[in-house]
Every structure is written in structure tokens, then in C-alpha cells.
Amino acid sequence: MFLENNKHKGWIEVVCGSMFSGKTEELIRRMKRAQFANLKVEIFKPSIDVRYSEQEVVSHDANAIQSTPVESAQNILLLASDVDVVGIDEAQFFDDGIIEVCRKLADSGIRVIVAGLDMDYMGVPFGPMPALMATAEYVTKVHAICVRCGDLAHHSHRLTADDKQVLLGAHDTYQPICRHCFNELRKK
């Protein structure tokens, strides 16, 4: 399944931040650079993420790259054969099995690039992301700009009253806001 005698060491990179911070944009950039370097790449996303495309990973800025939607993290192990780089978008939507999947891929010599929300709309660490960040060799936190005051934003403020943790959406459902504005809104 994996390259037995891979000459390169594998590792895990995590790109995290709020909605509209450029996580997916950065994942696509890194994956396209790997393709340009003639590396074999495979990109995965959770099958529930059909906001912009069922088959592609698409950023809010409409940049896209072909991907394979998967029902569970374990499917990634079955589908990631003979590759140099694996990209995983929206990792917060996977169960904790994604952590071991990423470790196995990296241990087999594969570069793993994971993108996802580090916190949910309530400001709580989101799903497997904290453990992925702790496991990763490289963590990049990207920031949006607060739509209320212009400071760096790292919260995803939900514009609807829905209280489910997972609610797919874009500009009509979420706004990036800073810590101060997040705390002000929570007081109301």
C-alpha cells in the first residue's frame, strides 16, 4: 500500500485558522507546488463537504483542485497508494481516526498536509484538530480580517441561530471576527 523503502522522511503539516482565513487556499497552493515538482499527490475531503463541489476542494476565492471525497478517515489509507504527498481538507469534520491515519501516512514516508478549522463557532477546539496540531511537525495558523473592526480574526462567528456544531456554510452563514468582537457578541 505504501512505499516500502521511501528515501524521504514523512511528516505532517497542519494549516489551521478561522473561516475565510485562507486555509484551503494554502492547502491548494502547497499541493499545486508538489504537483509542479512532479510529486505524486492525492487530495481528500470529507464527503459531507459539498458546498462548492462534490469532487473538488474549492477555496472561498474559487481556486480548486481535484479531490477524492471520503466517508471516513480510514478510507484515506485504502486510497493513498503510491503517492508522495497527501492533502486533507476540512479535517475537523473527520473523527479522531484521522490522527492515526495521518501518523501512518507520515510514518510510511508520505508528506501529509492537513487543513481545518481549529475552533468551532463557540470558540471551542474543533474535533481532532488539537491532536493533529500536537502531532504535526509543522503548524501554520492563518488569520482572516475581522469584519467588525479590521483586526486579525481567528473566530468564526455564526450568523444563524442554529446550534449544531457542524453547519456547512460560507459568507451567508459565518463571519470572521477578532477576540474582542467575539467576546463582545457573547455578552449580548
**Where in the sequence numbering do the catalytic residues fall?**
90
Query: Is residue 27 helix, strand or coil?
Result: helix
**186: amino acid identity, one letter:** R
Extract long-range pairs of 96-99: CB within 8 Å, 24+ residues apart: 96/127, 96/128, 96/131, 97/72, 97/73, 98/73, 98/128, 98/132, 99/128, 99/131, 99/132, 99/135
- 85 to each of 35, 75, 173, how far by Cα in Å? 9, 16, 32
First to last CA, the chain: 53
Q: What's CA 26's distance to the chain center, in Å?
A: 10
Burial 119-137 (b: 16+ CB within 10 A, else e): bbbebeebbbbeebbebbe
Q: Where are the alpha helices (DSSP H) in 23-107?
A: 23-36, 73-79, 97-107
